[in-house]
Amino acid sequence: MALADRYHKTYPVSWDQLHRDCKALAWKLADKNFKGIIAITRGGMFPAAVIARELDIRLIDTVCVVSYDWKEQGEPRLLEQLHDKGDGDGWVLVDDMVDTGKTAKYVRDMLPKAHFATVYAKPKGKVLVDTFITEVSQDTWILQPWDSETQFVQPIIKLKQADD
C-alpha cells in the first residue's frame, strides 16, 4: 500500500519541538543506568544525540535499517551489521518514532533486552516500545524537520472540505 493512501493527516514537527520532546524523553530515561545508546538510522540519530548529551552518555552506536521511503513501506533490511551488543541488555535503543512496528520488531528481535525509546509512537507500533513521549494517530504522517521546508499550506477546514 502506498504511503499516500495510509496517511490522511500531517503532524509537522519543528527543530525546537523535536529538541524539547527529545529532552522530555531523556527525563523519562534519566533514572535508568545504560551502557550506551544505539540509534536507529536515520531518524534516531538526532534524538540519540540529545539523549546522549542529557544523560552524559558517550558510547553511541547505530543500527542501519531501512524499511520505507516516501512512496511505500517494505520489509526492513539491515544495511550494515551491528557491532556486537549481545542481546541488548543495558543498552537504550533510540528512534524518532514507531509507526507500524515493522522496523521496531526487526530491531527488537536483534536486541530483545534493550530498552526501546522513541519520541513519537503510533497505536500499531507502541506495544514494541518501552518509553515514548507523544502518541499520534495511525493515519498521521509525522513530518520531521529534516524532511520539510517552510511553505504555505491550506487551513485544515479547507483540506477537510476538499475531501468531503
How many of the other CB atoms lie within 10 Å of CB of 86?
10
- Catalytic: which of 21, 95, 130, 164? 95
CB of 82 within 8 A of CB of 63? yes
46, 96 contact by CB (below 8 A): yes
- Catalytic residue of the set 96, 109, 139, 163: 96
Q: How far apart are the first and last CA of the chain?
A: 22
Q: Verify whether residue 163 is a known catalytic residue.
A: no
Name the nearest CA neighbour of 63 among 87, 93, 91, 33.
93
Active-site residue among 99, 109, 130, 163? 99
Q: Round to whole Å and give the CA distance between 56 and 53.
A: 5
Side chain identity, residue 20: R
Active site residue 139: no
Does residue 109 carry a catalytic annotation?
Answer: no
25-42 b/e with 16+ CB inside 10 Å = b?
Answer: bbeebeeeebeebbbbee
Residues with a known catalytic role: 95-96, 99
